[in-house]
Structure 1
Amino acid sequence: MPTPRSLRRTNPITFVLGAILLFGFYIFFFSSPSDDLPSTSTNGQQKKTASNALSPPSLPFRKPKSNNNNNPPPEVVHYYMSNLTTSRDPIANQETVLILTPLARFYQEYWDNLLSLNYPRSLISLGFIIPKTKEGSQAYALLQAQITKTQSLPKGKRFASVTILRQDTESPLQTQNEAERHKISNQKVRRAAMAKARNSLLFTTMGPTTSWVLWLDADIIETPPTLIQDLASHDKPIIAANCFQRFHNPETNSPDSRVYDLNNWVDSPTAKELGAKMGKDDILLEGYGEMPTYRSLMVWMKEDGGDPGKEVELDGVGGTALLVKAEVHRDGAMFPAFAFYHLIETEGFAKMARRLGWKSWGLPNYLVYHYNE
């Protein structure tokens, strides 16, 4: 015989289930969000995540689940910037380094070389920005796998922090093929997009404890393991390594190397005259026969057996392997995505830094190597 409807409504099991459901809703809506936020240790350092969006910016910020007014106010964090150093001996002075890489393709050789750097990983934070393209998504998956593997190692072998941004601007090129990337017709739009990506990455990841910023391209696959210390030992505000590319020379049937990064240069009267005749939105480009500038390029200053510590003052720099004192960026030097004195991106950065009183330098005999597609 079926149970009358009135009895089913008053069944004790129905009341118990209803009470459990109500309790669950109460916990979800009215519990304090502080349970989801990290605690602060007695020495003032954050655990796992930041408790607010700015303290410190190198850690992820978790938004509270509730919008009620019961949220505890964020703590006040003091940073004594006068105590921050950028010295010739960054390891002895425990100076933190932020390695920033715009990444459209992932090369395992890049990551392996990054792990071969012998600067203490506890002093290194990593930052990546990846375009929202199919190729970018593939790169993201490969990068994430390597990060997960490395950050699962014992504490001394992990990086201090890793930040990955997905680029919020349209990619101007449909492919990252080397030939397509370097077409002169693509340069202004491509490098403007690169400048925006660099600025987004820089402004998001550089924190108040960052001493140095190392810009390292995603296709740099070979550097000395002492790259950071070597560049910092010159105590220059901006300093660039010389970028070459290894390849198999069919003429000699043997391994060889050739010049690659042409953006490290000393200006010329010809380039200045060309710029003076250009429209305000036109840019000068290096390495194209259609636009001979006759600048002195650092790649051609390399000397066989030359001193790797030899310095030259530069007017333009590339971003393949570029070490910058964080105070230069804090002073306002960024990567113009527009024609700045007819220069753009990294070369425009060198010009902007010079206008702010910071000089750029290069090491013609200190080599890093680019992936050969």
Structure 2
Amino acid sequence: MALPRSIRRTNPITLVLAAVLSFGFLVFLFAPSSNPGAVLNAKRKIANAAAHPLSPPTAPFVKPDASLNGLSKPPPVVHYHLNNVTTTADPVGNQETVLILTPLARFYQGYWNNLLALSYPHSLIALGFIIPKTKEGNAATVALQAAIATTQQGPEGKRFASVTILRQDFDPPISSQDESERHKKDNQKARRAAMSRARNSLLFTTLGPSTSWVLWLDADIIETPPTLIQDLAFHDKPVLVPNCFQRFTNEENKPDTRPYDYNSWQDSQVAADMARDMGPEEIIFEGYADIATYRTLMAMTADRSESRNQQAIIPLDGVGGTALLVKAEVHRDGAMFPPFPFYHLIETEGFAKMARRLGWGCFGLPNYFVYHYNE
């Protein structure tokens, strides 16, 4: 069929331009508003949404629904299948998330440097800290935030998946964090009860549905093998603690090491008899000369030779918390840090007793060392 004369005479370029202009008009007519206020409001909503994998969004971004007269839809229901969360001897290969938790009263740069040196993929590591509201705690918070800002704005491979900082909502029982004050026997019950409360607050706030492992790491642990997480997880134990030592200069002015943490032990009949005769509020504290428990202390069984078997493992009845790897399901089962006498034990040793009462085994690596800051 012949085209009308008017169309035959029309330049093809004119037709193309007309089509482009028509398309542009339709886009302008139906595109969402570019109102700066609307854009800012959307950004605020996104900023309010949780951006880390520890918990469901607390303020999820939802668009207004015209059918609800401009009101937002109800927040979504989030489903988690905890039976899909694995804890295996190959945590890197299985992409298992590790939550590193640290009660922090003082900030040591050595602690942070050691944390950065861990070879476990930082994208699978979430950090959690709890800090007391004291003068030292305030200074520690400032130093910690500066270190976090440098790391999280630095190379992507060094960044952690998330960082949570809590401030304690109760006062510490002792004002000084000096080692001599912390380890006085008279201060132990109140100090370790407060430490238990801090640990529990940190744990219950940060433990998320995707967490496979929880690594408790004290703020004054300044040296560990870079492969710490992989080395401990390799044993695939519910609760596992390495041996905590301290580097120092001995009387001959030579570098040396000495045991530091005496809270990892195998129980004795003497200690059991001692507990049986105690009142309900009394607690057995390990590492004091006037409390002879005759327990087998893991710190005293270490082989310090260069040829030692670092994978040697022993069962334990009590554990220390300087560096402690726990399967998240142990905590989900209810094992926490009792701030009260629990079978005459408290804090990490009470946690070991509670875990064992729940059917989980506790173990130690006597020849695998981490090192505590030497004041």
TM-score with structure 1 setting the length: 0.84
Determine the structure 2 residue equivalent to 1:318: 320
Secondary structure at 2:191 match in 1: helix
User: C-alpha distance in 2, partners of 1:75/1:117?
Assistant: 36
Alpha carbons of structure 1 residues 32 and 225: separation in structure 2 relative to 1, 3 Å = closer
User: C-alpha distance in 2, partners of 1:86/1:63?
Assistant: 29
Secondary structure at 1:99 match in 2: strand
Native 8 Å contact 2:312 2:365 kept in 1: yes
Determine the structure 2 residue equivalent to 1:294: 294
Match for 2:284: what amino acid? L
Match for 1:193: what amino acid? A
Native 8 Å contact 1:34 1:72 kept in 2: no
Give 5+ residue unaligned stretches, structure 2: 1-35, 62-69
Match for 2:293: what amino acid? T
Match for 2:274: what amino acid? L
Determine the structure 2 residue equivalent to 1:356: 358
Q: CA deviation at 1:82?
A: 1.2
Which deviations, in whole Å up to 9, do the C-alpha atoms of 1:277-312 show, x marking residues without a partner? 111111100001121111000001101332000000
User: C-alpha distance in 1, partners of 2:344/2:215?
Assistant: 25
Determine the structure 2 residue equivalent to 1:121: 122
Paired positions, count? 330
User: C-alpha distance in 2, partners of 1:318/1:338?
Assistant: 17
Point out the more displaced range, 147-156 or 219-228. Answer: 147-156
Native 8 Å contact 2:193 2:347 kept in 1: yes
User: C-alpha distance in 1, partners of 2:234/2:286?
Assistant: 29
Question: Superposition pairs for residues 84-99 of structure 1, below 5 Å?
Answer: 84-99=85-100
The sequence identity of aligned pairs, in percent, is: 64
Q: CA deviation at 1:50?
A: 1.8
Q: CA deviation at 1:154?
A: 3.2
User: C-alpha distance in 2, partners of 1:236/1:141?
Assistant: 36
Question: Superposition pairs for residues 247-258 of structure 1, below 5 Å?
Answer: 247-249=248-250, 251-258=251-258
Q: CA deviation at 1:243?
A: 0.2
Alpha carbons of structure 1 residues 58 and 146: separation in structure 2 relative to 1, 3 Å = farther
User: C-alpha distance in 2, partners of 1:263/1:132?
Assistant: 27
Q: CA deviation at 1:71?
A: 4.5
Question: Superposition pairs for residues 261-276 of structure 1, below 5 Å?
Answer: 261-276=261-276
Determine the structure 2 residue equivalent to 1:36: 44
Match for 1:177: what amino acid? D
User: C-alpha distance in 2, partners of 1:48/1:295?
Assistant: 52
TM-score with structure 2 setting the length: 0.84
User: C-alpha distance in 2, partners of 1:50/1:327?
Assistant: 24
Secondary structure at 1:363 match in 2: strand
Determine the structure 1 residue equivalent to 2:82: 81
Match for 1:125: what amino acid? A
Secondary structure at 1:337 match in 2: coil
Q: CA deviation at 1:169?
A: 1.1
Which deviations, in whole Å up to 9, do the C-alpha atoms of 1:50-75 show, x marking residues without a partner? 28xxx9545885699xxxx9454221
User: C-alpha distance in 2, partners of 1:312/1:134?
Assistant: 41
User: C-alpha distance in 1, partners of 2:187/2:262?
Assistant: 17
Q: Which among 369, 372, 375 is matched to residue 370 of structure 1?
A: 372
Native 8 Å contact 1:243 1:261 kept in 2: yes
Native 8 Å contact 1:99 1:124 kept in 2: yes
Determine the structure 1 residue equivalent to 2:187: 186
Q: CA deviation at 1:34?
A: 6.2
Secondary structure at 1:300 match in 2: helix
User: C-alpha distance in 2, partners of 1:241/1:60?
Assistant: 36
Q: CA deviation at 1:90?
A: 0.4
Secondary structure at 1:37 match in 2: helix
Question: Superposition pairs for residues 133-172 of structure 1, below 5 Å?
Answer: 133-172=134-173
